[in-house]
Amino acid sequence: MSTAHEPLRPHDLLWISELEDLRSTSEVPGWASREWLLHAPVVVRREAVSEQGVVPVGLRGRARSERFAAHVARERIRLSVTPEALAKGRSWRTKAALATLPCVRALSRIAPELDRLRLTWGITGSVGFALASGVSTLRQDSDLDLLLRASKPLTRDEARSLLALLQASPARIDMQVDTGHGGFALAEWAGNADRVLLKTGRGPLLVSDPWVGDAS
């Protein structure tokens, strides 16, 4: 884990000290208790923020319906961990309680393949949350969410080959590609559509080249 002085990017997991550190125009839901936040990290959201030193974050609870958007001051973050660090840590190998879940079996199978391809990748979603916090909300039908950092363009054929590799796993794997301009679904880039949906801090954009960002 890193300290709060490291650069933060979407999908990074953060631990805050107090419930009062959260800023929101809405009331914080009851499930987001002080006790929960002692163990459960918040995740950096993709949102452009004008106020310096403020980070957009998302909270998750035990149920899929328990999600809440807020902001937190950078100075109130005590620890952070990146999706890439979770992948490199290989902590799922030591968590026997998770070993039989299809999503974790899929992770065990795909991790060496992604490393063999020398990709910069990480673990996000519910699996990343469980590995980082030790609090599992995983189920037999949980997906495996992965992140691919790709500052250089990935060809359509490369995307199709990578998607085929992911689809051979024992659980559904959703991979998001982060270009530095935003994030998009690998499955979309592997498809035949001329444009893909790029999620940016300004909102979603339909683009023909996600490495340019605002290309039409």
| Bridge partner list, 207 | 196
- How far the first Cα of the chain sits from its last, in Å, is 39
Strand locations in 101-208 (E): 120-124, 144-149, 173-178, 183-185, 196-200, 203-207
Do residues 212 and 181 touch, judged by C-beta distance below 8 A?
yes
H or E element: which one contains 35? helix 34-39
* CA count, 13 A, side-chain hemisphere, 116: 7
141, 145, 178, 194: the active-site residue: 145
For the record, the structure tokens of 76 come out as 């109130």
How far, in Å, CA of 183 to CA of 177, rounded?
5
CA distance 144 to 166: 10
State the catalytic residue, choosing from 12, 143, 157, 209: 143
For the question of residue 143 being annotated catalytic, the response is: yes
Is position 145 annotated as part of the catalytic site? Answer: yes
Active site residues: 143, 145
